[in-house]
Every structure is written in C-alpha cells, then in structure tokens.
Structure 1
Amino acid sequence: MAVCGKTCLIVSSVIVFGLGYMFYTPLPDYLEQPWELRKLNAKMMVGGIITEISHGLGFDDRVNLMRKWTYKWAIDAIRPSDWMKGVSVTDMKFDGVPVRIYKPTTSQNDDVLPTFVYYHGGGWVLLDVESYDPVMAHIAREVNIAVVSVEYGLAPEHPFPEGFDDCVKATEHVLQHGGKYGLDSKRVAVGGDSAGGNLAAAVTIYLRDQKSVTPPKAQVLIYGAFQFCTQSLPMATLRNELESFAKERHAFIVGSWWNLNKQERELLKTGKFTTPQLASKCKRLVDVKMVPESLIQDGYSPQDHVAHHVSDDVKRLSRLVSDPRISPLLADDLGKLPTALVLTVQWDHIRDEGIIYGKRLQQAGNKVTWQHFPKSFHGVLNWFHDDDLFESGPKLMNSIVEFLKQNLK
C-alpha cells in the first residue's frame, strides 16, 4: 500500500506539474485575455498529446487525428448557432474544384454580385470550408456580396502544388465564367488567412504573370505565411525560444505540404537547410530592416540557415523554398498586383513576414493598407463574433468588411 501510495503521489505530481506547465504558457502581458489564450493553448497541447498517443497505439493516422481534434476544440466549440441567418449556401464545383458559395438572402436570383474568393487557413493540412462557414456568411451578409470558399486539396493526400492549383482553377473559373452563377467577374477580390493568405498572395502573382484572365481587383491577406527561407525573424525567434515544440511542428506541417522525406524534415528542424545562393536572396528580399524597431526584441540577432553540406536534399529544399507559389516574398517582382489589405497580429510566428510583404508590395507601387493588431494572436479571425472574449476579432473582421465595401464597388 505504501509503495502504491508513493507511486500514486509521484504520478499525480507529474500530471499536476504537466497541466500547470501547459496552462501557464509564457505569454506577454500586453495580450488581451492571456488566461483565455492559455486555456486555448492547453487544449491544443492536450490534443497534440492525445494525437501522438493514439497514433502510437495504432488508432488512426496522425493527420486525421489532428484534424478531428482541431475541428472539435478550435472550431466547432466556438461555432455560433445562427451563422446561416440572412445567407443562402450552395455547394458546387468550379473546373472540378469543390466550392461553397454564400449569398445574402436580400439579393435577387438575377442579381450579379461582387465576389470574394476565399482560401481558408489550417497550415495546408487542416480545416475545410465548413470550418469557415460563420466567417464567410458574415462577410457575405455584411458586405452584400457573394463569397466563394474554395475546398482546395489538403496535404499530405494532396501535396504541393495540388492545393495551389485548385485555388488557381477555381479563381480563374470565377474570373472567366462568374456571370453564369450571378458573380460579377469584373469585381472580384481574393483573400485568405494563414495558409490561405499564402495561397491568396501566390495566386495573384501567378495570375498576373499568366495574363490569361483579368486579374482580381483586390486581395485580403490575413496573418499570412509569405516565406520559408528563414526561421529567425524577430517574432519567430522569440516564439521558438519560448516553445520547445515549435520547430517540430513547423517541420511536420511543412513536410506534409511539400511531401518531404525524413532527411529533409530533419534539415528543417536543424535550421541548416539552404544553399548559399538562397541565403543571399533571402537576406535581400526578406529584409528584417523593414520590421519596425519597436517590434524587435532587445538582443535580437538573425541566424544563418546555410547548410553545412549542400546535399541533394538541401538543393531540393532550396528549390521549393525559392518557388513564388510557396514563398511569395521571394518573387523579385511584386509590381502590378491588386490593391491589398495586409493584416498582422502581434503574437504570431509569421508576424514579421506579413509586415515585410506589405512594405514590399507598397515599394513596388501597389496600393496597400497595413493594419497591425498589437494585442492579438494568430487565428483570432475565428472569434470575430465574440467581442466579450477577444476584442480584436470583431475589429479585424470590421477591417475586412470595410475594405471589401470600398474596393468592390
């Protein structure tokens, strides 16, 4: 009994300590509702632990388990019950790509509406159009436009460039044949959050270069990922120091998206994965000097990512990272692109690349509105309906609504 009691005490202590550590995720004081964020982080960390245990026991594939947990805790738990109020929803395919179309019920059947083509977030691996129903319905209702949400193929089942190609095909279909569906092909904006922001930026560059269709009028880039040549921008450096699992998570998500082998994923985790040529290009085009000094922590110093040995794996990684369909920031020419709304949030691994992308767009002669939310975090858009919890969610959504009203007239 004494041995059992001692064992139980040790196990209980470990559990309590572990839970305490998870709940007390290091967060800066300036963030809104830090304890709510800690609870959210704790849920995701518990989900990660359960995912790994379940996968190890052979219950399901790691990605499928991640998808179930993310949807249950991060999306379904905050889904408002009245999200469909005032909108009609139709599922169809555009050039073989599944899309979901949201229209305000105030519109008539013969109305031709300005259109917002949206690519959802989720790290190119998670979530789907259903996850974003409330967000899309709100935009359609408030701006009085049609919203086309693209169900692009997710990795690892559909690795790069399949998801990107789906977004291009669906968007070209709207721009070429939108009138058949009551969509105004001359008044189109594209946008997305996180991975979707990456896709939106990449799609606009691709459409500009192809010149096969009239390009979109505007783009909405919400805390997007715009480069992969460096993991040592100021906020990424800070987050990596505070979160021991950050590099592992990055390698898993990106490795799934790019269909990397084990050696290539290990290179990403070590941070030594680029050729000297890519490192030089990265320093030039992903210029940390564009990040405001007020946002750079004391003692910050950028790191070198040049591989110790330029192997075939390093060469392949560098080719992928250099591709503007993956890294819009590594496109030398960012001119003649649609008017942009660039939204960044403070507590975000990819904060700085959003800032740099917005400034480079502006330097290239494009019209750009940049808004930064200094008390907010990556993913807050999905809390747009709850200002009692996170005030920045409704504020960020209002910025999107006002921008679309002004640019899709």
Structure 2
Amino acid sequence: MAAIGLLALIAWAMYYDRSKTTMDPRFDHPWKLRTLHCLLIMTMTLVVVGQPVGEVSGPSSRFSFAVVLPKQGKILEWSGLCKQIELIRFMLNLKKARLHPGLSTEDLCFDGVPVRIYRPKAPSAGRRKGFVFFHGGAGMMGSIDYYQDVCSKLAKDSQTVLVSVGYRLSPEHPYPTQCEDCFAATVHFMKNSEVFGVDPSQIVIGGDSAGGNYASVIAQKLVERPDLPRLRAQVLLYAGTQAMDFNLPSYQQNATMPLLFQDSVVFYGLKYFGKSTSLTEDLLIGSHVPDEIRLKCDKWMRPENLPERFLRRGFRQIPAVPCKPEVYEKLPEILSISFSSLFADDAVIRQLPETFVVTCEYDVLRDDSLLYKKRLEDNGVKVSWFHSENGFHGVINCIDLWFLTFPAGVEILDRAADFVRSL
C-alpha cells in the first residue's frame, strides 16, 4: 500500500507540474527544476494530508499552494485545510544550511531586531566593509537560519562583516513592520560599525526579492539622514520595485514558470498587506491604479524602457483599464514609495549610492529590476548589472541542494560578492 501511495503521489506531482507550468525550451535545466517543483508539490501534499482534523478547524486556519500550485491554491485557501503561511515556514525550516568554516557567527539584537553577524576568521590589515543583508520570502517567510548558506557564501567571498537581519514577519506583524525592522537594524549598525571592525564609509545594504525591495526603500530613506554615513552601495537581487503593472513582458513570459507564478505575486502581495485575495483579479488587470498615479508613473513603466531583447518571447501590449476607486482605497500603500520604490522622485533617485542589479531571465520580477536600473542610470547613478540567462526566482536558495543545485544561483552570489569586494 505504501508503494502504491508513493507512486500515486509522484504521479499527481508530475501531472500538476506538466499541466500547470511552462518552461522556455532555452532554459538549461528543465528536468532539474521540474524535479524540484515536484518535490515541493509532494511535500506540500503530504503535510496537508497529514494535518490532524483538530488542527485545521476554525476561520483563521487556511492554506494555499500559491507558490507551487497558484491556481488550485485558491481551492485550498477557501476550504480552510490548514494555516497557509505556517505550513510554508515549516517546509523552509526543514532545510539545514551550512556555515563556511572560514567564518564565525554571533547572534545579537540591533535596536530590538534579531541579527546574525558573519565575520571572516582570517585577520584583516584594517577595517572591513560591512554588508547588511535582508532576506526574501514575500515578507512572510524566510529566516536567518534559512538564509545561512546564502549569507555565509556572501560573507566569505566578499570578505565582509555581514549582518543578516531577522525582521518580524507578516501577517503576525503587519506591513510596514518588515521594512521598519530592516531600517532600524541598518541604522544601528551604521552608528556602531566600528565596534564590529567595519569602516563606516564602506557599508553596503542589499537583499533578494522582498529583501531587495526593502534595500531599495531603505537606501532612499537614508538619503534623508545626513546624520549617518553615506551608504557605499546597494545590492539588489531580483528585487520587486513596483505594484502598478503585473503585465510587463516578464510577467507575461514567465506567468507559469516555477517557482514564482504571475498570479502568485499578487496573491502573496495581498496576503502580505493583510488584504482579501478576492482582489487578485483587479490587481492583475490594473484596476487599482488611479488616473493621477498612472499619469505620473507611466513614463517610468513603459515597456519601451526595457532593452529590446526583453520584448520578444510572446509579449503583447495590454491596454490600461479604468480605475475602480473602491479597489485603490483598500490598498493605497502598494503604490506608495514605501513599497513601490520605482516611483520615488528624481531628487531622491539621483542621490542613491552605486548599485549592483541582478535580473533573471525566467523571473516574473525581471522587468521590475530592469526599470529601476534605467531610472538609476537616467539619474546619473553608477550601476553594475548582471543578467542570469538561466536564472529563475529564488535560484540563490538552490546553491547547496546536492543534485538540485543550480549553477545560476552560485554565479549570482559570486558576482554579488565580486562587486562588493571590488568597491
């Protein structure tokens, strides 16, 4: 019976993966990614099936497969099978990340925010650079422990004192708690960097995905803090920078590319802000954008601002739809510069530090970062850019997964460390 059950589980995962996902034939590792995707589906299924009935009752007990099963996720979300975010956090915590032997770590609190400090054991002739890193996970998932392999590699290869920030997560701690925690930890480190052997003029901030969004917002906020040292640089790894248009070329081209689907971005964005996921369709078609905001920001959002090569692969221009004021009134914060950093004024953008931008070809957020890159360049900010031709969203979390390790993730972190080391 166990063997039959396992075969059925494998068959279900393979069926779902093949029927609900699309991979470009130019992607180098389709079967490796499909295997990873199927393992995620199988794990999710086993955990859901194994939930005791007494633990899944009640109106707040919900679950969605929206990361790996975005369509069917709505069914499970509505059915109240189990707590969605807690399940995904449980899965992520199964990963046991290793620490490089050339590093030491120390867990502290900066202004009440948990941090893990990575220090190279090798002696340094002078003060080192500092690197404050904010992990991804849609503001609801991820942790210092889960990102230890990423931070360990960055710290070792860049030879920096790296601070990994364990900000509080939504929905237990509503937006904008996450960015506020990251900002508080950054300011504390900037004020006390010399205690950790760091040159205060050589501090870099950065992150991946949602963490990259926080880094972009915090860099803008620090422009208004002349009492603090100027940031040396920011590192943005496939960062989200806008919530106005979810039909940019990269969203269309990678709509069903694992591990982050087009509708998953909106679904989890609404979860992050504590809003009803019934608004998903309204956001996907753009009915949440008032005319005045569209008029101001359209010049930064046009597809022609992207390199021509990214307009191929099936992109079609989708006309704007009329705004529904009642939708915008429910979530105005997603278009504010405290979340959509792409929309900051030129006077702020031109004061930002040197920036390293990473984009992935098979990532729905690719064009968010490309549009932000153009805004930086148009305002005279020095930008270094690395485009991962075989990268997908979340690939840096696949650098130590045995046969499921993806070279693109390793290369991205290598390039990021090289950038920081060369400053």
Same fold by TM-score, threshold 0.5 exceeded?
A: yes
Equivalent residue number for residue 28 of structure 2:
32
Aligned match of 1:70 in 75, 92, 98?
92
8 Å CA contact 2:262, 2:364 repeated in 1: no
Structure 1 265/234 Cα, relative in aligned 2: closer, same or farther at 3 Å?
Answer: closer
Q: Distance in 1 between matches of 2:166 and 2:16?
A: 33
* d(CA) in 1 for partners of 2:52, 2:242: 32
Q: Secondary structure at the match of 2:375?
A: helix
> CA–CA distance in 1 between the matches of 2:130 and 2:119?
9
The match for 1:273 among 279, 285, 288 is: 288
Change (3 A) 1:15 1:379: closer
What TM-score does the superposition give when structure 1 sets the normalisation length? Answer: 0.86
Across the aligned residues of Structure 1 and Structure 2, the Cα RMSD in angstroms comes to 2.9
Distance, in Å, in 1 between the alignment partners of 2:6 and 2:148 is 41
Structure 1: which amino acid aligns with 2:410? P
User: Which amino acid in structure 2 is aligned with residue 141 of structure 1?
Assistant: K
Q: Given the alignment of the two structures, is residue 314 of structure 1 paired with residue 328 of structure 2, yes or no? A: yes
**Aligned pair 1:84/2:100, yes or no?**
yes
Any unmatched runs of 5+ in structure 1?
1-8
- The residue aligned with 2:368 is 353
Distance in structure 2 (CA, Å) of the matches to 1:16 and 1:399: 36
Identity between Structure 1 and Structure 2 (%): 27
C-alpha change, 1:203 and 1:308, in structure 2 (3 Å) is closer
Deviation, 1:16, is 7.2
Relative distance call for 1:274 and 1:306 in structure 2 (3 A) is: farther
From 13, 16, 21, the equivalent of 2:15 is 21
In the TM superposition, what whole-angstrom CA distance separates every residue of 1:178-233 from its partner, at most 9, and x where no partner exists?
Answer: 11232322210001011111111111011113434122100111011111111000
Aligned to 1:5: none
SS in 1 for 2:202: strand
For 2:357, what is the secondary structure of its paired residue? strand
Find out whether 1:206 has 2:228 as its counterpart: no
For the Cα contact (< 8 Å) 2:204–2:232, is it kept in 1? yes
The question of whether the paired residues in 2 share the 8 Å contact of 1:125 and 1:154 is answered with yes
Question: In structure 2, what is the Cα distance between the partners aligned to 1:106 and 1:183?
Answer: 15
Cα deviation, 1:270-324, whole Å, max 9, x if unaligned, reads: 642222222333422222112222222355333345455312x42242x212211
CA distance in 2, matches of 1:281, 1:306: 16
**Is the CA contact (8 Å cut-off) linking 1:275 and 1:306 kept in structure 2?**
no
Unpaired runs of at least 5, structure 2: 57-81
Match of 1:93 in 2: 109
Paired with 1:87 and 1:285, the residues of 2 have a C-alpha distance of: 42
Partner Cα separation in structure 1 for residue 157 and residue 101 of structure 2: 11
- The number of equivalent residue pairs is 389
1:255, distance to aligned residue in structure 2 (A): 1.7
How has the CA–CA distance of structure 1 residues 208 and 26 changed in structure 2, closer, same or farther, with 3 Å as cutoff?
Answer: same
1:78-104 per-residue CA deviation (whole Å, 9 max, x = no partner) reads: x45xx3311110010111111100001
Aligned partners of 1:160 and 1:258 also within 8 Å:
yes
CA drift at 1:352: 0.9
Aligned partner (choices 266, 269, 285) of residue 251 of structure 1: 266
Change over 3 Å in CA distance of 1:225–1:264 after alignment to 2:
same
Greater shift in the superposed pair: 132-141 or 92-101: 132-141
